[in-house]
Amino acid sequence: GKKGKDGNKVTLIKIYKASYVKNDWTNIIELPFNSDNYSTAHPALSADEKTLYFVSNMPGSLGESDIFKVSINSDGSYGTPVNLGKTINTPGKETFPFVTDDNEIYFASDTHSGLGGLDIFVAQIKEDGTFGQVQNVGADVNSQKDDFAYLIDTKSRIGFFSSNRENGKGYDDIYQFLETRPIKCKYELNGTTTDLLTAEILSKSKVSLYDDQHKLLKTTESDDKGYYSFDIEGEKTYSVRAEKEEYTTTEKTIAIAEKDCKTQLNLTFEKALCKVAVGDDLGKCFGIKWIYFEFDKSTIKPEAALDLAKILDVMGEYPNMKIDIRSHTDSRGTSKYNEGLSDRRAKSTREWLIQNGINPNRLSSKGYGENQLYNNCSDGVKCTEDEHQQNRRSEFIITAL
C-alpha cells in the first residue's frame, strides 16, 4: 500500500490481512479503515473472531492513541470502527490490546493510574459491550518503565509481556510468566442477616443493593445460613437495605476501596416497634425516616427515594393498607405560601408512589404548612438549617388496613 506520513514526516502504520495457504502467506490486503492520514496498529481478535480491536489516532480519538473495535461481518467485510470510550481511553496513550476468551481486555496505558511509563491494565467486557472497572494488573507485572503487549493463555495461565525495565538484555525484552493467582480483583460484597438482640440467623431476608444515587441495582435473598453476596465494582459507594417481616428495615452505606476485593457487611435487625394499626405512623412502625425536602423545594431528593421505596414494600405486604401523606414546611415564608408549598410536597410524594405502582385510591395527601412544627423553630426563633429541615417533612399515617 501507499505510505502515509504525518506533519513530522513520520511514516504512518497500517494493518494488513493475509491468508496462510500451503505453508505460505498469500492474499495480502490492506484493511479498509486504514488511511494515509493516521495510523492503525496492534490488531487483536476476539475469541469468536467477530470483532477486531486495534489502536489508532484516527478522528474521534480521545487522546494520543486510542483503542477501537470493528465488527467483522459473516462475508468477511468490516463495519465502522467504534472508539471504546472514556472507560478505556484517556487523553494519553492506550495501546497493545489483547482480548481473552473470558472476555477480558488487557491493554497498556500511560495515563490510567500506574507505576510509571506504560502500565498494563485489564477490564471486563460486559455482554452489552460496555466495560467494567479498569484495574492495574499490579507490581508483579508492571514496573516504573514501559510494560506492554500482554497476552495470556486462559487455560495454562502462561503468558508473555514486553518491557524496557532495568536489567533487561535489550531495549525492549519479552518476559514469560505463570499466573499463580488471579490478577484481576473480583469485587464482592457479602455478609449475614441476624437478629440484633439474639444473634439468631434470619434466613430469607430480602437484601437490596443501591448505587450512590440510590438507584436499585440488584436484589437477593439471604440463604439458610443468613448469608448474602453481591458482585460489585471497586472504588464505588453503595447502600444496602435489608427487610424481614416483623422486623424494622435496616440499611447501611459502604465505600469500597480499590484494594478491597471482598468486603463484609453484616446486617442486623431489630424487632418492629409496633403491630400496624389505623392511625399509626409508618415511620415509627417500620423504621422509615421522614421524607425531608430542600428549602423552598417540592421535588423528591435521591436519598428520600430510598425511604419511599420502603413505603412501597410495606404497602405491598399489606394490600389493603391506605395511607394519608401529611407534608409540612418550616416557618420561613408566609403562612399562605407555606400552605401551598406543603400541598405541592404532599402531591409530589403521592405522585412518586403512584408512578412506582401504588393504586391512587390507596393514597390521600394534604399539606399542613407551618402549623405542625416538629420543634420550636417558629417565626422569629433563630435555628440552624438542620433544625429547619426537621420541619420540612412528609409523614405517612395509616388510615385503613
Per-residue pLDDT reduced to its tens digit, 288-342: 665 555 555 556 666 667 778 878 888 888 899 999 988 887 777 777 887 888 8
Burial class (CB in 10 A: 0-12, 13-18, 19+), 286: buried
SS3 168: coil
Burial class (CB in 10 A: 0-12, 13-18, 19+), 157: middle
Cell for 145?
518503565
SS3 188: strand
Tell me the C-alpha distance between 247 and 270, whole Å: 6
For the cut 60, the answer to whether the pLDDT of residue 162 exceeds it is: yes
| pLDDT range class, residue 395, cuts 50, 70, 90 | confident
Closest CA to 320 of 366, 274, 278: 278
How many residues make up the chain in this entry?
401
Cell for 142?
508492571
Per-residue pLDDT reduced to its tens digit, 24-75: 999 999 999 999 899 999 999 999 999 999 999 999 999 999 999 999 999 9
pLDDT value of residue 98: 98
Tell me the C-alpha distance between 246 and 182, whole Å: 43
CB proximity list for 7: less than 8 A, separation 6 or greater: none
Do the beta carbons of residue 121 and residue 164 sit within 8 Å? Answer: no
| pLDDT range class, residue 374, cuts 50, 70, 90 | confident
Cβ atoms within 10 Å of 96's Cβ, excluding its own: 24
Helices (H) and strands (E) in the chain, counts: 4, 25
The amino acid that residue 97 corresponds to is P
pLDDT value of residue 21: 94
For the cut 70, the answer to whether the pLDDT of residue 202 exceeds it is: yes
Cell for 304?
428520600
Domain 16-178: which topology?
A: Neuraminidase (2.120.10)
pLDDT value of residue 381: 78
Burial class (CB in 10 A: 0-12, 13-18, 19+), 236: middle
Q: Domain-by-domain residue ranges, the chain? A: 16-178, 188-269, 282-400
Give yes or no on whether 188-269 and 282-400 have one common fold.
no
Closest CA to 165 of 141, 136, 194: 141
Do the beta carbons of residue 249 and residue 243 sit within 8 Å? Answer: yes
Which residue(s) pair with 219 in the sheet? 208
Domain 282-400: which topology?
A: 60s Ribosomal Protein L30; Chain: A; (3.30.1330)
Q: What homologous superfamily does CATH list for 188-269?
A: Immunoglobulins (2.60.40.10)
Per-residue pLDDT reduced to its tens digit, 170-192: 899 999 999 988 777 788 999 99
Residue 90 has φ and ψ, to the nearest 5°, of -130, 180
Could you tell me which residue, 258 or 233, shows the higher pLDDT? Answer: 233
CB proximity list for 303: less than 8 A, separation 6 or greater: 214
| pLDDT range class, residue 5, cuts 50, 70, 90 | low
Mean pLDDT, all residues of the chain: 87
pLDDT value of residue 344: 84
Do the beta carbons of residue 308 and residue 323 sit within 8 Å? Answer: no
For the cut 60, the answer to whether the pLDDT of residue 352 exceeds it is: yes
> Model's pTM, two decimal places?
0.58
